[in-house]
Amino acid sequence: MNKAQLVEAIADKVGGRQAAADAVDAVLDAIVRATVSGDRVSVTGFGSFEKVERPARYARNPQTGERVRVKKTSVPRFRAGQGFKDLVSGAKKLPRGGEVSVKKAPKGSLSGGASSTARTTTKKAAAKKATTARKTAAKKATTAKKTVAKKTTAAKKTATKKAAAAKKTAAKKAPAKKATAKKTPGKKTSARKTTAKRAAAR
C-alpha cells in the first residue's frame, strides 16, 4: 500500500479524499518534524518513532569487498508496539469489520519506554537538586545576616552601657570635689577669727 492507497482506504471514514489526504499529510509531517528534533513519537499499541545516533565505523562494499569508512550519522527508527506485534504474529486475531483496536497496550510494551522514563527522572532529579541548592544558599545567607545583625546590636548595647556607667562615675566624682573646695575656705575664716580674739585679749 502506498500513500495514495492509504488515502483511499480512509477517505470514507474522514469525509472525503481531500480530507483524508490532508489528515495523512498532517500526521506524517508531525511525526517527521518531532523525530528530526530528537523527540520520541509514541502511539500506544501501534509503535514509536525515534532518532538514533550511529557512531563512525568501517564497512565493506558488497560489490568490491573494499573496506570503507562510514561517517557518524543519525537515522530514524520505528519500533512496533506490543499490540501491533501480536496482530502480525497471529497471537491476536485481526477483526474482520471495523477498526483495529490499538488503544492501551500492556505496561512497558513499547520499546524504549524505560529510556525516556529514565531521561525524565534524571531531569526531574537535576531540577530538584538545583532547587535544593538554591534554598540552602538562601538559608545560609539569611542566617549569616541575622548573626551579623545580632553581633552588631550586642556591641551597640555594650558600648551604650559602658558610656552610661562612665557618665555616672564622672557625675559622682564631680560633687565630692566641690564639697571639699567649699569646706576649706570655712576653716581659714575660723582661724582668722581666733587670731583676732587673741590679739584683742592682749
Q: How far apart are CA 46 and CA 198, in angstroms?
A: 141
Tell me: pLDDT of 103 over 90: no
The radius of gyration computed from the CA coordinates of the chain, to the nearest angstrom, equals 50
Domain that residue 110 falls in: 3-133
How many domains does the structure of the chain reveal?
Answer: 1
Q: How does residue 181 score in pLDDT terms, banded at 50, 70 and 90? A: very low
C-alpha cell at 59: 564497512
pLDDT at 124: 61
Q: Which long-range contacts (CB under 8 A, 24 or more apart) does 112-118 make?
A: 112/40, 112/48, 112/50, 112/79, 113/42, 116/40, 116/42
Model pTM score:
0.46
State the CATH number of the domain containing residue 44: 4.10.520.10
Q: What is the mean pLDDT of residues 91-110?
A: 64
Q: pLDDT per residue over 124-166, tens digit each?
A: 666 667 667 777 777 777 777 777 667 767 777 777 777 777 7
Q: Evaluate whether residue 172 is within a structural domain.
A: no
